[in-house]
Amino acid sequence: MANFQYTALDARGQETSGTIEAASDAEAVDALKQHGLYPTAVSVASNKEVAKAKTKSKKESAQKSKGGSTKGAGKKIPPKNIMTHTRQLATLIGAGLPLIRSLEVLERQEPNAALKNTVNSIADSVSSGTTYSEALSQHPKVFNKLFINMVKAGELGGVLELVLDRLAEYMEKADKLKNKIMSAATYPVIVLILAALILLFLMIVIVPKFTAMFAEMGLDLNPFSKFVFTTSDLLIKPELSLIPPVPNVLFLIVFVVLFGIIFVAWKKTAGGKKVFDKVILKTPLLGDISLKSSVSRFARTLGTLVTSGVPILQALNITRETTDNAVVANAIGEIHDNVKEGESVTQPMRATEVFPDMVVSMVDVGEETGQLPDMLLKVADVYEDEVDNAVTGLTAIVEPLMIVFLALVVGCIVIALFLPMTQIIEELQK
């Protein structure tokens, strides 16, 4: 047996090279053809070429085990790209293209490097005989359990195209709802940051000039102006223990940043998230929107999974894992445990006291009529509309309140500066 160095084309027309062990060059060509390769050059390999080929093969194997090429690896793939990929894949399969061919087409036109490599890896796995759902499960950071289990159910039922359409629709509606909530939260945050920056500018740049002027006059300041000037002095006063001295405002900024980092880290813990979500649910206005959003996500996820043929217990597990609210997730866990014991979905759902009565009633009707998946999707539609209306109403209330708040912040500083000036004018008139 000898080693042969070869250059060949694969099924997609891409050139590849390596070494193969065979008794003769004819047997090497036959072996390559059996592996789906079309050799263009075959020659006896030297020891140096064999060692080089083995090193290259090891590198390629390591890359494949990590999910493809290193190019674009480690980069997070935006949900919008996955959503578009899913919709396009459903369209291509619906048009009659085989799965492998559809994946190859999408891989060539995919602009995102990380997703391109992922699709390439999936196509290679499917070409080697792996099912599509198994190939997806090799990339858990890209495709979650909801995606994988729905595809698996679609494969078993022979309705992969339909399931992919449902997945794309699910992701589109979830993304739309998330963007609606995020856009509503953006305005208040921007206004608060702007108010903080304006306040800091006035307190550390403008107010000190007036403080020096009034101090030279020996003016007896009113309590409100005195409070503002004292606060400004504390912010710009240097910390004498440091060399060079640093204004106290920098310590305040560092404290706020550190507090934010610690708070975010705490919120990511299981206990912290549970406490935070409980507080949010009890907060006026925000709690109602948060609960409706979580209920909508629960109903849409569970309804989509059950409609696609995923067993109810498995669907409840996946729904619990994809729920963003810890309180609702715990409630779904309780429902799962009770259903596992043979109960219906309605009774444990009512016992959790988390889900609104209307949701429980609609689920009850769905179970009685045997149309639970359809009823869950109707619940999702209703609550998505309610979240949309609630967010629109909250935005209409918050926008003028934020404008008034910003005006009050600036107005208080201006009043504190002009009150002493009115005192000076009154004394001059006397």
CATH number, position 275: 1.20.81.30
Helix extents (H) in 202-325: 207-217, 223-236, 248-268, 270-282, 286-307, 312-322
Is 73 domain-assigned?
A: no
Q: Which of 101, 161, 100 is nearest to 135 (CA)?
A: 100
Per the structure, the complete domain to which residue 97 belongs is given by 79-143
Residues 255 and 224 in one domain: yes
φ and ψ of 138, to 5 deg: -75, -5
Residues 209 and 103 in one domain: no
Last residue of a domain, one of 20, 42, 65: 65
Is 299 domain-assigned?
A: yes
Residues 266 and 407 in one domain: yes
Name residue 417's amino acid: L
Spatial separation of the C-alpha atoms in residues 185 and 285, rounded to whole Å? 13
Residues 291 and 344 in one domain: yes
Q: What is the DSSP string of 175-230?
A: HHHHHHHHHHHHHHHHHHHHHHHHHHHIIIIIHHHHHHHHHHHT----HHHHHHHH
Is 74 domain-assigned?
A: no
What is the mean pLDDT, run by run of 10 residues, along the chain of 430 residues?
73 67 78 71 65 49 44 66 89 86 88 89 87 89 85 82 86 83 80 85 85 79 85 73 63 85 89 88 85 88 85 88 87 91 88 89 90 89 87 82 85 86 78
Residues 371 and 324 in one domain: yes
Last residue of a domain, one of 65, 87, 114: 65
φ and ψ of 16, to 5 deg: -140, 155
Computed over its alpha carbons, how large is the radius of gyration of the chain? 32
Q: What is the DSSP string of 119-139?
A: HHHHHHHHHTT--HHHHHHT-
Residues 56 and 83 in one domain: no
Cβ atoms of residues 232 and 203 within 8 Å: yes
Is 330 domain-assigned?
A: yes
Is 149 domain-assigned?
A: no
pLDDT score for 69: 43
CB environment 127-159: b (16+ within 10 A), e (fewer):
beeeebbbbbbbbeebbebbbbbbbbbbbeeee
Is 148 domain-assigned?
A: no
Residues 337 and 236 in one domain: yes
Residues 338 and 413 in one domain: yes
How many independent structural domains does the chain possess?
3
φ and ψ of 308, to 5 deg: -80, -5
CB environment 331-358: b (16+ within 10 A), e (fewer):
bbbebbebbeeeeebbebbbebebbeee
Cβ atoms of residues 67 and 118 within 8 Å: yes
Residues 285 and 352 in one domain: yes
Handedness of CA 106, 107, 109, 111 (dihedral sign): positive
- Do the strands 2-9 and 238-239 form a parallel or antiparallel pair, or are they unpaired? unpaired
Residues 200 and 328 in one domain: yes
Is 60 domain-assigned?
A: yes
Residues 205 and 340 in one domain: yes
Is 51 domain-assigned?
A: yes
Residues 111 and 165 in one domain: no
Spatial separation of the C-alpha atoms in residues 30 and 34, rounded to whole Å? 6
pLDDT score for 243: 52
The model's pTM is 0.65
Name residue 53's amino acid: A
pLDDT score for 12: 55
| Residue 327: partners with Cβ closer than 8 Å, 6 or more residues away | 274, 277, 278, 281, 354
Last residue of a domain, one of 65, 88, 107: 65
pLDDT score for 258: 92
